[in-house]
Amino acid sequence: MITFFLNGQEVSEHNIQPDMTVLRYLRTRQSLTGTKEGCGSGDCGACSVLAGEMHNGEWHYRAINSCITFLAQIDGKSLITVEALANGSELHPAQQAMVDKHGSQCGFCTPGIIMSLTALFENTPSDKTFTLHEIYDALSGNLCRCTGYKPIIDAAKSMKSYPGKVKAEIWTPSSTSPSNKGETSNEEGQSWSARTESELKEILAHHPDARIVAGATDLALEVTQMNRRINKLVAINQIDSLKTISEDANYITIGGAASLTDCEKVLEAHFPEFAQLLERFAARQVRNNGTMGGNIANASPIGDAPPVLIALNADIEIAGANGNRWIPLDTFYLDYKKTLLQTGEYIRAIRIPRREACEHLKVYKISKRIEDDISAVLLAIKVKVQGGQITAVRTGFGGMAAIPKAGAAIEAALINQPMTVETFRKAGEKASEDFQPFSDVRATAGYRIQVTQGLLEKAALEILNPESVSRVEQIFTTTLSAKDVVNTYDPQENNNA
């Protein structure tokens, strides 16, 4: 049986199809049709709801895509849907601001927008105003086709000026005690919500064919997009030991089921370039559910974390019935969607060596759209520069091959060379030695190679001009002037001029 709160009321379910999504459950079992299906793939945000987790006696709410969240993942949580926010005609500030700023037209995306704005409102101290950057971040997973977003941004900016929240009781239900393994079943199969690794191992020992789900942000697409059924499902997103984030003298260690959102703080402290990537990695709702371990285990050639982790020389800890082992991530991928992971095994943790002095990390994602898109190319490069020479280099590439991997020829062209644009330009010429990418819906092979070369050049320019604005996604002003940007490819040119 799983138990959770729905708009403040405790609900228990035991007879449930194992791959039942939260959205389907809300609409068909609870007649809560305010939450909409726009795409069924977690790309539009119309299905956004808030999921609360209890930490240190307090509920913390985040927006998630209910269309790609399984009900099994909700065990022990507190769900809030759009219907619960208003108290009769008294609207939540997010709702009232949207009405006053004309933020809805067709209204179909609106409930999802409201939930994202509510998460922003509720998670920000009352005296703080939002920056444009924070507003973009909160709404990065909500598509609107009618308004062009301007009135929605205006609503976000103004909602703090409304009197506080209404209906306080829905936000703070009393906690429940976890039920045994959160097991549900029906004639089609079973699902579990494991609370400890030993529970997980026990379930896997009896059901080695059970699909392990942490965030479900990719796995759920099998159900919602490919009409496949998952008859055995074990959710690991409530296992505390898999969500721990720690650091010691040598490593930053991230639990395999820690959400990408949970990783933000530690990455910001140690690898701000990686933290910055997360903004383009996926939308806020996806980062709230999706995990670093899932992104690795999923083994997609266009997953964004693996190339960066390869460039950072990360290791992963694999756990299973036969005990635990650490392996370097760059040995994990065997072929397209094939890894070292055996049936019944899971990624327990990821550890990243601490950064050394004189090490530069540059991470780039190229996609058609800046927010919530999938990489055409992901390039990560770590270079150590001492006395104007490159003394160490490590790369990781996504979208360039069947697996995420380093570029050996590119690295060879950089090592022990002077830290100049010319060096990186020459290294770029090696791109087609390392990679023979595909042409697909996201980009042609030619573009992937050329953009790799362009990004290597840009990496050099950024290292040599650390104060300059060099990426369009970082521009939040209309007053950018020549003094803010890189003026020339070659500093020598300036001297000669």
Partner 1 sequence: MRKLIDVEDNKRMRPAKGKTGESMKHESAAKQVAGTAVYVDDMPELPNTLHVAVGGSQYAHAFIKSMDLSAVEKAPGVVKIITVKDVPGHTDIGPVFPGDPVLVESECEYIGQPIFAIAAETHEQAKAAVGLAQIQYKELEPTLTVDKAMKDQFFVRPTHSHQRGDADKALSDSEHVISADFYVKGQEHFYLEGQISTVVPTEDGGMDVFTSSQHPTEVQKLVAEVLDISINKVNVEVRRMGGGFGGKETQAAPLACIASLLAHHTKRPVKYRMSRGDDMIMTGKRHAFQNDYKVGFNEQGLIQGAVINVAGQCGNSPDLSDAIVDRAMFHSDNAYYLNNATITGYRCKTHTVSATAYRGFGGPQGVITAELMMDDIARHLGEDPLTIRKRNLYGVKHDSMRLEDGSIDPRNETHYGQTVEQEVLPELISQLEESSEYWKRREEIKQFNANSAFLKKGLALTPVKFGISFTVQFLNQAGALVHVYTDGSIQVNHGGTEMGQGLYVKVAQVVANEFQVDLDTIQVTATRTDKVSNTSPTAASSGSDLNGMAARDACLRIKAGMIKYAAELHGTSEDKIRFESNHVVAVKADGEEVWTPFAEFTQNAYMARVPLFSSGHYQTPKIHYDRNTGKGRPFYYFANGASVSEVIVDTLTGEYKVTRVDILQDVGASLNPAIDIGQIEGAYIQGMGWLTTEDLVWSDNGRLLSNGPATYKIPAVGDTPIDFRVKLMEQLPNKEETIYRSKAVGEPPFMLGISAWSALRDAVSSMAEYKFSPPMNAPATPECVLNAVNETRKHIANS
Could you tell me the smallest distance in angstroms from the CB atom of residue 146 to partner 1? 5
Q: Interface with partner 1 includes 337 (CB under 8 A)?
A: no
- Is the CB of residue 211 less than 8 Å from the CB of residue 230? yes
Binding partner 1 (rule: CB under 8 A), the pick from 139, 204, 305, 363 is: 139
Query: How many binding residues for partner 1 (CB under 8 A)?
Result: 100
The nearer residue to partner 1, 138 or 403, going by C-beta atoms, is: 138
Burial of 179 (0-12, 13-18, 19+ CB in 10 A): middle
Q: Interface with partner 1 includes 173 (CB under 8 A)?
A: no
* 232-235 vs 211-213, strand pairing mode: parallel
Binding partner 1 (rule: CB under 8 A), the pick from 175, 322, 389, 488 is: 488
The window from 4-12, 28-36, 324-332, 391-399 that contacts partner 1 (CB under 8 A) reads 28-36
Residue 235 CB: number of other CB atoms within 10 A? 28
The nearer residue to partner 1, 92 or 351, going by C-beta atoms, is: 92
Which tokens belong to 179?
């039920």
Chain residues 34-93 in contact with partner 1, contact rule CB under 8 A:
34-41, 43-44, 46, 81-83, 85-86, 89, 91
Chain residues 387-426 in contact with partner 1, contact rule CB under 8 A:
none
Binding partner 1 (rule: CB under 8 A), the pick from 72, 153, 410, 449 is: 153
Binding partner 1 (rule: CB under 8 A), the pick from 9, 10, 29, 102 is: 102
Q: Interface with partner 1 includes 444 (CB under 8 A)?
A: yes
The nearer residue to partner 1, 33 or 436, going by C-beta atoms, is: 33
What phi-psi label fits residue 399: left (phi over 0), alpha (psi between -120 and 50 degrees) or beta? left
Could you tell me the smallest distance in angstroms from the CB atom of residue 313 to partner 1? 26
Site string for partner 1, 217-246 (x = CB under 8 A): --------x-x-x-----------------
Q: Interface with partner 1 includes 445 (CB under 8 A)?
A: no
Chain residues 450-469 in contact with partner 1, contact rule CB under 8 A:
450-451, 454-455, 457-458, 461, 469
Q: Interface with partner 1 includes 152 (CB under 8 A)?
A: yes
Q: Interface with partner 1 includes 476 (CB under 8 A)?
A: yes
- The residues, ordered by sequence, that sit 6+ positions from 163 with a Cβ below 8 Å of its Cβ are 93
- CA pair distance 123, 132, nearest whole angstrom: 16
Closest CA to 471 of 183, 244, 199, 279: 279
Binding partner 1 (rule: CB under 8 A), the pick from 30, 105, 158, 231 is: 105
- Is the CB of residue 293 less than 8 Å from the CB of residue 228? no
Q: Interface with partner 1 includes 353 (CB under 8 A)?
A: no
Binding partner 1 (rule: CB under 8 A), the pick from 304, 345, 372, 434 is: 372
Could you tell me the smallest distance in angstroms from the CB atom of residue 151 to partner 1? 6
- CA pair distance 375, 369, nearest whole angstrom: 10
Q: Interface with partner 1 includes 294 (CB under 8 A)?
A: no
- CA pair distance 428, 313, nearest whole angstrom: 22
Q: Interface with partner 1 includes 480 (CB under 8 A)?
A: yes
Chain residues 113-132 in contact with partner 1, contact rule CB under 8 A:
114, 132
The nearer residue to partner 1, 135 or 170, going by C-beta atoms, is: 135
- The residues, ordered by sequence, that sit 6+ positions from 396 with a Cβ below 8 Å of its Cβ are 306, 307, 308, 309, 310, 311, 312, 378, 379, 380, 381, 404, 405, 406
- CA pair distance 312, 329, nearest whole angstrom: 10
* 338-339 vs 333-335, strand pairing mode: antiparallel
Binding partner 1 (rule: CB under 8 A), the pick from 7, 65, 73, 142 is: 142
Could you tell me the smallest distance in angstroms from the CB atom of residue 218 to partner 1? 10
- Is the CB of residue 71 less than 8 Å from the CB of residue 22? yes
Which tokens belong to 8?
């403040």
85-89-95 Cα angle (round to 5): 45
- CA pair distance 60, 462, nearest whole angstrom: 38
